[in-house]
Amino acid sequence: MGLLDDLAGKALTGFLGSNQNPLAHSVLEMIQNQPGGLSGMVQQFHQKGLSDVVSSWVSTGQNLPISADQITHVLGSQQVKDLAAKVGISPDQAGSQLSSLLPMIVDKLTPNGQVADSGGLLSAALSMLKPAAKP
């Protein structure tokens, strides 16, 4: 992992609130496990008719908003339910939180305004969000 990935990972971790946000950690894992990673997830948004929205998250400009229903439409209700169960909240709460969290995560994972190979950045962010081992 390069210095740039390390710095970007630290910036992302600071932005997401360290290990205080289990949903953010779960979303990063979800993105990493998507077929095609971040690029694959962005493609899902394009295929579901939300190109303008997801493109705004990737670009360096302002992020367009997305609703919880639109998030569920793209990710699928089962994936939203799985994320909710993983962090102990209702699917409605997960959809609502994802509608504000996902644009920020995608924005931070694409600091240059384009989807690149963000594997190193995702790995760095995930490792920094993991709770520290207790002695």
**Domain with 76 in it: what CATH number?**
1.10.10.690
Q: Which structural domain range is residue 56 located in? A: 3-125
Confirm whether 46 is domain-assigned: yes
Confirm whether 21 is domain-assigned: yes
Task: Give the residue, 82 or 33, on which the prediction is more confident.
Answer: 82
So what's the pLDDT on residue 123? 53
Mean pLDDT of 3-12: 45
For residue 14, what are its two tokens? 């600071």
Count CB neighbours of 16 within 10 A: 22
So what's the pLDDT on residue 132? 43
Confirm whether 135 is domain-assigned: no
What distances in angstroms separate CA 5 from CA 26, 63, 99, one per listed residue?
A: 20, 22, 26
Confirm whether 69 is domain-assigned: yes
Round the average pLDDT of the chain to a whole number and report it. 79
Mean pLDDT of 7-12: 47
Confirm whether 131 is domain-assigned: no
Contact between 61 and 107 under an 8 Å Cβ cutoff? The reply is no
Question: HSE on the CB side for 34, CA within 13 Å?
Answer: 23
So what's the pLDDT on residue 111? 82
User: Is the CA virtual torsion 116, 65, 93, 46 positive or negative?
Assistant: negative
Mean pLDDT of 68-88: 95
With residue 7 as reference, give the H or E element that holds it. Answer: helix 3-16
Confirm whether 130 is domain-assigned: no
Mean pLDDT of 105-123: 73
* Cα 88 to Cα 23: distance, rounded to the nearest angstrom: 9
So what's the pLDDT on residue 133? 41
Q: What is the pTM of this model?
A: 0.74
Mean pLDDT of 24-38: 87
Confirm whether 28 is domain-assigned: yes
Mean pLDDT of 58-76: 95
Confirm whether 29 is domain-assigned: yes
pLDDT band at 20 (very low <50, low <70, confident <90, very high): low
For residue 98, what are its two tokens? 């994802």
Place of tokens 């994936």: 79
Q: Which residues of 76-99 are buried (b: 16+ CB within 10 A; e: fewer)?
A: eeebbeebbeebebebeebbebbb
Domain count, the chain: 1
So what's the pLDDT on residue 29? 87
In the predicted structure, residue 108 carries a pLDDT above the cut 90 = no
